[in-house]
Amino acid sequence: MPCIAHISDLHFGYNDPLLVDALRQSLWQIKPDALAVSGDLVEHATIREFEQARDFLQSLPKPQIVVPGNHDLPFYNLWLRAIEGLRNFRRYISDDPTPTYVDEHVAVIGFESAHHFPVKGGKITEQQLESIVQRFAALPDCLIRVLVTHHPFDLPAPATARSLIGHSRLAVRRLAPVVDVLLAGHIHISSSGSTSSRYKTRNHAMVFVQAGTAVSNRHKGETNSFNVLHTGRSAEGEKQVKIDRYAWDQGPSQFTCHRSLEFRLGKEGWAQVRHLSAH
């Protein structure tokens, strides 16, 4: 099954070197077909932090789909944020606003949800949304189509709409017919689920997959983690995605798989079919 590793919220300038090395080793052991990085590569958007993030990404498997987060613009200086924006991200990380990976099984496309304003929250502009829909609609239906942003379109209850990307309900209604999986970060807490719980997009539910913070010290009640997605077809021919959550184990000082969930695309859209394991 094609394999996509999903890491997020590295926050260079505020992270643990031990975790950085362990994440690198884990990713090379997994050898994903593609690596999705859903934003917040740095903490203060300084040149030194971006150099560290660049060097780290260069040491990881490729190809890579990398999108910026709100911290990849100057976060604590609003004047500098307005002047510089994503200048350093584009210089040191990527100047591609829509990084793309496509093979015979899966298509992964990233879009920027971090803008000058709002400072913490994110948004997809009308122009971006139209472009996303057109890009994915042009792909063959047989592909599992994955959208990568920093800010989430969906989260499990009891999260409110204030935690989601701006105008999420409109965006999900437009995206659901042409997108299968939504990858995001931002909140430093991992989760996976079907958009059918929050949004009533008949026959077109998507899978949302949240990555925790991979290597930063900015914990929010959850250990450092990342995701690995295995995409393919079930015995019945349905599209399926298995999501492995790798979490940091302090004892052996390594990332290990703690949970696996499986989702399949049925008549009502994507839904979880089973909880495969819990270690």
Distance, in Å, from the CA atom of 141 to the CA atom of 207, rounded to the nearest integer, reads 16
- Specify the pLDDT at position 168: 96
Please report, rounded to a whole number, the percentage of residues in the chain having pLDDT higher than 70: 98
pLDDT digits (tens, 9 = 90+) for 126-164: 999 999 999 999 999 999 999 999 999 999 989 988 899
**What tokens were used for 85?**
């924006």
Q: What is the DSSP letter of 9?
A: -
Amino acid at position 226, single letter: F
Domain that holds residue 232: 3-278
- Specify the pLDDT at position 277: 56
Q: Using an 8 Å Cβ cutoff, are 109 and 117 in contact?
A: no
CATH number for the domain that contains residue 30: 3.60.21.10
**What tokens were used for 101?**
């990976």
Distance, in Å, from the CA atom of 132 to the CA atom of 69, rounded to the nearest integer, reads 18
pLDDT digits (tens, 9 = 90+) for 27-63: 999 999 999 999 999 999 999 999 999 999 999 999 9
Helix ranges, the chain (H): 17-30, 47-58, 78-84, 87-92, 126-137, 168-175
- Cβ partners under 8 Å of residue 9, min gap 6: 38, 39, 40, 69, 185, 186, 188, 211, 212, 213, 214, 216, 218
Q: What is the DSSP letter of 81?
A: H
For the chain, what is the domain count?
1
Burial pattern 183-195, b for ≥16 Cβ within 10 A else e, equals: bbbbbbbbbbbbb
- Specify the pLDDT at position 220: 86
**What tokens were used for 191?**
């989760």
**Average pLDDT estimate for 241-256:** 96
Burial pattern 108-118, b for ≥16 Cβ within 10 A else e, equals: bbbbbbbbeee
Distance, in Å, from the CA atom of 144 to the CA atom of 163, rounded to the nearest integer, reads 26
pLDDT digits (tens, 9 = 90+) for 54-104: 999 999 999 999 999 999 999 888 889 989 999 999 999 999 999 999 999
Please report, for residues 82, 211, 253, the alpha-carbon distance to residue 54 in angstroms, rounded to integers and kept in the order given.
Answer: 23, 20, 24
Q: Using an 8 Å Cβ cutoff, are 183 and 36 in contact?
A: yes
Q: Return the higher-pLDDT residue of 201 and 20.
A: 20
**Average pLDDT estimate for 251-269:** 94
